[in-house]
Structure 1
Amino acid sequence: MSMPNLAIAALIAAAALAALMFAGVWAFQAYGIYQFPRSSPPAADGVRAVQFRSSDGQMIGARLALPQPGKPVIMSFYGNGAGVDASFERLSALRDRGFGIAMMEYRGSGATGGKSSEMNFARDALAFYDQLDDLMGLPATARVLHGFSLGAGVGSRLAAARPFEAVVFEAAPYRACLYYQDAYKGFPFCQVMWAERYDNVDHIRAISAPKLIVHGALDQALPVARARQLFAEVPGPKEYLEIEGGHHADLTQLGLTEAMDAFISRSVAPSSP
């Protein structure tokens, strides 16, 4: 084969490889990330199941528990693979301490239809924030953000756009694309992904509220070294808690509730009853 023909063949092969990679990354972003349950059990006693309309007209489910007088409402966003009711129950100890809890259901999860995506979650979180007082039937109440794992990505984007008195990130990725790189043996997801990246560090840098970053020292899903890097790179006021013996999803059993209660008490002035 002549040199010009070899060059053309090489270009065709490179183009085909690039197209194959593009298709693979697109399919991964569209179908390979989210793993939510589609069942939605009845809300627990004392928990209100409500719906709100997002900015594109999609109806989104949510769960609410009212705060005791003078206590703030914690807007919490949960992790991948979980459901809203189990995630709400995970914070029951905070409810017992008088905090209100507000948690939206993700699109494509439980009884909420639509397509799961970072941009859809961001759209829905903004609508949830803006309608929360009406949904709860209360006058404006101090708000604290809590984001667990993937929910830290949803929450950090929201807290960069709307005010909170304090924010708590539990088992938060530095960037989710780094998690995928680790899981897929170094494939350069951060270089090729254009969606579902959850670049948390960039959003947290824009949050002026006091921040608490909590991570398990034995977290194998999201290595603790990245949590330390995240903490080092975001501006204050900030606090860091590394829970010895903690893994990815067990921190509520190892002191997270007490740490959040103390942090919120230091950061949020009690509201008038």
Structure 2
Amino acid sequence: MTTLGPINGEHPIPQHAIRSARIVGDDGEASVVATVYCPLKERSATVRECESCRRFHALHFDAPSRTTSVVCHTERAISAMESADPLAGVSEHVNPAAPLAAIMSRDVICVRPEVTVDEIAALLIRHAISGMPVVDADGKPVGMVSRADVLRAAEERGDTEESERVSLHRDDVAPLDMEQGFHVYEPVKVTARDVMTPVVVQLHESASIRQAASLMAYEGVHRLPIVSDDGKVVGILSSLDVLRWFGRSCGYLIPPGRRRA
């Protein structure tokens, strides 16, 4: 959450970044679901829903970061979140009770269970990430797939891929003119469903940073899918996001990370 400068001498107006969840299907096509976190309702909302709210002010596009935000009058809610008591012995600027929406990655890449491991590997390299949620047709997480899962699948597959026999009918056109006794085989595709971790550790977007840090440490995971009220993925939180937030809160100048753990 950031703020615009004062307007007509009034207090700065908070702006809330629009998040986008890109869900890649087995056909390679991606659908985008855009939402914004409302601190007053403590849940996600669509941009259209924000525009119909009496607190809505405008949409703001930041050219350097190429991000769009919803500008609205939510000073009371923001002040209430920032007034929480900090932990003893920690800088007064560190607020572990702040919501995850303030630090999570808002642009998250998701895949369907049917997406192949090869396509997942390409997505991990292309977007410089090391893991992503696997979601069902409703956009709800059913698992997590990581770089380690892809490497493990490649090692188990080895140099020779598994294959299955293909039965040809009379009306089918055979790819090759084969002699009797030969058969056509196709490689068995390994998908996200085959390699993912099916148990999903997740948190609601209104959960606090300290809750996320405690859960990640307890479960031994490096990333958490963040979900809205309806259970759909609206962001992802990595251990580096938490460390980056803590360092900045303590006054250190930390540039935006290009890669997430």
Q: Assess same fold via TM > 0.5.
A: no
Q: Which one has the largest radius of gyration?
A: 2
Q: TM-score, normalised by structure 2?
A: 0.28
Relative to its length, the structure with more helix (as a share) is 1
By relative contact order (CA 8 Å, sep 6+), the higher-ranking structure is: 2
